[in-house]
Amino acid sequence: MLPRKPEDWPRLFVQHLNSGDLEAVVALYAPNARFVATSGETIVRRDSIRDVLARMIRSKTKLQSHVMKAISADDVAVLYTDFQGTALDASEKTIDVRYNAIEVLRQQPDGCWKSIVGGPNGRE
């Protein structure tokens, strides 16, 4: 399932991530997407972003999302989304996680929306 409007993107991201469906989460990103990791490193291309998402699933990350603001112009949208939840740290202890994200989405030829630039900590 892919988002038909930009505001659906975070909900679907959380749904697929929480269920551990790596392929469905990865499908939310355009092939040439960019992802700004918490380290500040920019990860280039969906195949590399897959590794980050796989780590999140392995650490049993469970999130909820709330879209704070969505701005669209033609086939581009910017989302300001708050994510919060839990994950397991390296010692398998449950920790709280929070992301104040910015996502730039582009509408695809089939009408769905995919992330082209993502920054989970873009508003920090």
CATH placement of domain 6-119? 3.10.450.50
User: Who's near 48: CB < 8 A, 6+ residues apart?
Assistant: 35
Tokens for 62, please give them.
Answer: 């469970």
What is the C-alpha to C-alpha distance for residues 50 and 24, in angstroms, rounded to an integer?
11
| Residue-range domain boundaries for the chain | 6-119
Q: How does residue 13 score in pLDDT terms, banded at 50, 70 and 90? A: very high
Output the CA angle 73-120-48, nearest 5 degrees.
Answer: 95
State pLDDT tens for residues 66-80. 999 999 999 999 999
State pLDDT tens for residues 82-97. 999 999 999 999 999 9
